[in-house]
């Protein structure tokens, strides 16, 4: 149940089940199978519909747009999420515009996949979590891979939609095991799920029932895995009880599960690896501060990486990026 393999199997199933699915991306064809090997084996079995492209991120997105407008379901890999910058015009001025500006007469359900994030020493241009800049693009869904969401469900859902999506995959997830809920548990934590109609699911994780938790932690992607460990440890070692909410969809965001949790705990910590300022957590803080104005015990804590480049040096990188230590510290403060 290695995440990279599961994701590859998901894409394989998409290709097998739906003849409209086309995979595009740099170096995604066999034998290489992509920089992170997610697509390995797929071009061998679906040579027409799994295509290595030239190094042209803008055109990858643009050709995907055309495919989608023509009824296909392109899933394009942008080798490093850092290079999503080169697709920004296509995403903002083309892909997400068509359906709305054409009064619903066209659809452009492009899915962009982007291996993202740091902690690997790849340096300033190969380690970023740039998804925050795509949040709030009208008509764009931003979705994050995590270990508690089955990629099969996510892609099945995305392929049901006619709207475009950006799916970010933190690189550190690839070698990890998917940890889906079994019998209401994930590892040492209670697990349950919330799905508002039309929204992708969020997962709740906590050591004890919500009523006994004094803080809500909202996190996605790899940071959600880090946060889960923190939540588990704080419960075991310090009897600090937190409920972790892990959404799969970051924007538009289904705030209901967060609101439900914070209504009980009275306190919120948001966690993300992107840089601080105008970030995912910012919107969470704004929304929850508004919705639960009188019920918040204390201000929302936003945990994000420093507003800076991601250094190459391991030491400097890990002090610049959010790690378990920062999460731990924030949860302790906010649980009080």
Task: Write out the binding residues for another protein, residues 282-321 only, by CB under 8 A.
Answer: 309, 311-316
Q: For residue 31, which of 56, 54, 50, 3 has the smallest C-alpha distance?
A: 50
Q: Could you say whether residue 26 binds ligand TPP (CB under 6 A)?
A: yes
Of positions 144, 168, 246, 251, contacts a copy of itself by CB under 8 A: 251
Distance CA 187, CA 72 (A): 39
Q: For residue 74, which of 40, 49, 99, 54 has the smallest C-alpha distance?
A: 49
Sign of CA dihedral 235, 240, 241, 242: negative
Cβ at position 82, least distance to ligand TPP in Å: 8
Task: Decide: 38 and 213 in contact? Cβ < 8 Å.
Answer: no
275 contact, one of a copy of itself, another protein, ligand TPP, none, CB 5-8 Å limit per kind = a copy of itself
Question: CB neighbours of 290 closer than 8 A, spacing ≥ 6?
Answer: none
Rg (CA), the chain: 19
Q: Could you say whether residue 76 binds ligand TPP (CB under 6 A)?
A: no
- Residue in this structure with the two tokens 């030239």, named with its chain if needed: 54
Cβ at position 333, least distance to a copy of itself in Å: 12
Q: For residue 246, which of 127, 111, 147 has the smallest C-alpha distance?
A: 147
Q: Could you say whether residue 212 binds another protein (CB under 8 A)?
A: no
Cβ at position 36, least distance to ligand TPP in Å: 12
Comparison of 2 and 100: residue with beta carbon closer to a copy of itself: 100
Of positions 55, 236, 286, 336, contacts ligand TPP by CB under 6 A: 55
Q: How far is CA 137 from the centre of its chain?
A: 16
Token duo for residue 249: 């969809």
Comparison of 85 and 195: residue with beta carbon closer to a copy of itself: 85
Q: Could you say whether residue 277 binds a copy of itself (CB under 8 A)?
A: yes
Distance CA 298, CA 281 (A): 16
Q: Could you say whether residue 105 binds another protein (CB under 8 A)?
A: yes
Q: Could you say whether residue 248 binds a copy of itself (CB under 8 A)?
A: no
Distance CA 50, CA 79 (A): 15
Q: Rule CB under 6 A: which residues touch ligand TPP?
A: 26, 55, 57, 79, 83, 86
Q: Rule CB under 8 A: which residues touch another protein?
A: 22, 26-27, 29, 31-32, 35, 48-49, 51-56, 58-59, 61-72, 74, 82-83, 86, 89-90, 93-94, 97-98, 100-103, 105-106, 120-126, 309, 311-316
């Amino acid at each position: 149940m290695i995440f990279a393999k599961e994701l590859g199997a998901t894409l394989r199933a998409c290709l097998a089940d739906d003849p409209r699915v086309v995979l595009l991306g740099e170096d995604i064809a066999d034998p290489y199978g992509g920089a992170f090997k997610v697509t390995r084996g797929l071009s061998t079995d679906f040579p027409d519909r799994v295509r290595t492209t030239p190094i042209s991120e803008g055109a990858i997105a643009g050709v995907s747009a055309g495919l989608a407008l023509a009824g296909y379901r392109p899933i394009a890999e942008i080798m490093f999420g850092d290079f999503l910058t080169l697709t920004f015009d296509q995403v903002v001025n083309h892909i997400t515009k068509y359906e709305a500006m054409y009064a619903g007469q066209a659809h452009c359900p492009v899915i962009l996949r982007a291996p993202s994030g740091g902690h690997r020493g790849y340096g300033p241009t190969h380690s970023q979590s740039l998804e925050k800049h795509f949040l709030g693009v009208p008509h764009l869904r931003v979705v994050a891979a995590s270990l508690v969401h089955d990629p099969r469900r996510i892609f099945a859902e995305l392929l049901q939609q006619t709207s475009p999506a950006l799916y970010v995959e933190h690189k550190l997830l690839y070698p990890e095991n998917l940890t889906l809920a079994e019998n209401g548990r994930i590892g040492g934590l209670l697990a349950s799920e919330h799905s508002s109609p039309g929204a992708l699911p969020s997962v709740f994780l906590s050591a004890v029932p919500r009523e006994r938790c004094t803080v809500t932690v909202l996190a996605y992607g790899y940071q959600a895995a880090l946060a889960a460990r923190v939540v588990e440890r704080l419960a075991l070692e310090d009897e600090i009880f937190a409920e972790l909410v892990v959404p799969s969809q970051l924007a538009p965001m289904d705030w209901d599960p967060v609101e439900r949790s914070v209504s009980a705990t009275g306190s919120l910590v948001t966690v993300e690896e992107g840089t601080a300022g105008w970030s995912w957590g910012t919107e969470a803080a704004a929304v929850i501060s508004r919705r639960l104005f009188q019920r918040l015990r204390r201000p929302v804590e936003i945990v994000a990486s420093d507003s800076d480049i991601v250094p190459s040096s391991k030491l400097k990188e890990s002090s610049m990026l959010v790690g378990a230590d920062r999460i731990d510290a924030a949860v302790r403060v906010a649980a009080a």
